Amino acid sequence: MTRIICTSIIKKIIFLAVFLLFFFGSKNVLAVNLLKNSGFEEGILPWKEYGAELALDFTNVHGGTGAIRLANSAVGSKWIYQIVPVTGGVPYVFSGYGIKNDSNISSLSLRIIWYSTADGNNSLSDVDSTSSLTNDSSEYRFLSTGAVVAPDNAHSAGVKGMAAFSSGSQSFAYFDDLTFEETVLPSPTLIPTTTPVPEPSATPTPTNIPTPTLTPTSQPPTNTPTPKPTAIPTIKPTPTFSVVLEPTESLGPETEQTGDFSPEEILGAEASSGAEASSSSGFSNFVKNIPWFPVLAVGIGVLFIGFSLFTFIKGNWKIPPPNL
């Protein structure tokens, strides 16, 4: 039972593969050459020339029995061509073989010109073969335009085999087995991107760096100034003088006091007491340090108070006359 199932699955896979090959590869498998007399086995027609003489050659052939030869004795580009119908937007490829074996010919190449009309008028654009023959060789070499898409409004194409003559001497170029057919555009090739792997970096070996030895450098002694003591002035206390007035119990006419005290008396009393307590030198220093302005102010105040008291007593106390 298992064998029957496996056989059935294999048949289905083969059928699907054949179907896909036919569907996607039919254009390549069934590609049709749109050129007439592409191998020049039937003469020259319907090929035409521009600026060159066309002739069949049966010696230098690539395939079959004949090839086309371009002969020229003038400088310039010459070619053979054929007009074929095309469908806009469809990819085509033009290819063939050529011989360039003459130093008077600079290059051989293929070219497609797209036309908007069916009879090859009103050119739209052109494309050349991907390479050209520039060096000489007696062998046929392959030329191709690769797959190119016809413009959307193209209705015909002019396919050309071109030779660039660089001298006025008689020269010959050959073409054979030319094809122009529909094709498919090649699928883009996905190029895998490789992620660069960083190379391991070598671990640096630690290097023992000697520690520098500090050598003491002798420096000249610095003269440091010795601070000198600042003289602080001694503040001597200022003597304060107080005058205390003690009232008397009774004042008689003969003992009436006027309260006149002069600054000289006060100062004399203070000076005499100071003379008793200190030496003559101490007295002179004391007198020198007396603040005379406050003393005079106090003295004047005392005199003013005494005078006022005296006036008050004289005006209010009347002493009766003695009885005779």
Angstrom distance (rounded) from CA 297 to CA 286: 19
Angstrom distance (rounded) from CA 94 to CA 85: 14
pLDDT at 169: 87
Q: How confident is the model at residue 31 (pLDDT cuts 50, 70, 90)?
A: confident
Q: How confident is the model at residue 72 (pLDDT cuts 50, 70, 90)?
A: confident
Q: How confident is the model at residue 197 (pLDDT cuts 50, 70, 90)?
A: low
Cα 172 to the center of its chain, rounded Å: 63
Scanning the structure block, which residue is given the tokens 């008397």?
248
Q: Counting every residue, how long is the chain?
A: 324
Q: Which residues pair with 54 in a beta bridge?
A: 70
- Specify the CATH superfamily of domain 29-182: Galactose-binding domain-like (2.60.120.260)
Over range 5-25, report the average pLDDT.
Answer: 59
pLDDT at 263: 52
Q: In the chain, where are the structural domains located?
A: 29-182, 263-316
Q: Is the pLDDT of residue 251 over 60?
A: no
Q: How confident is the model at residue 116 (pLDDT cuts 50, 70, 90)?
A: very high
pTM score, whole prediction: 0.50
pLDDT at 252: 44
Q: What is the pLDDT of residues 200-229, one digit of tens each?
A: 666 666 666 666 665 655 555 566 666 565
Q: Is the pLDDT of residue 29 over 60?
A: no
Q: Is the pLDDT of residue 128 over 90?
A: yes
Q: Which residues pair with 181 in a beta bridge?
A: 93
Angstrom distance (rounded) from CA 185 to CA 225: 102
Distances (CA, A) of 87 to 12, 41, 181, 217: 37, 28, 11, 100
- The DSSP symbol for 278 reads S
Task: Work out the percent of the chain whose per-residue pLDDT is above 90.
Answer: 39
Scanning the structure block, which residue is given the tokens 């020269």?
171
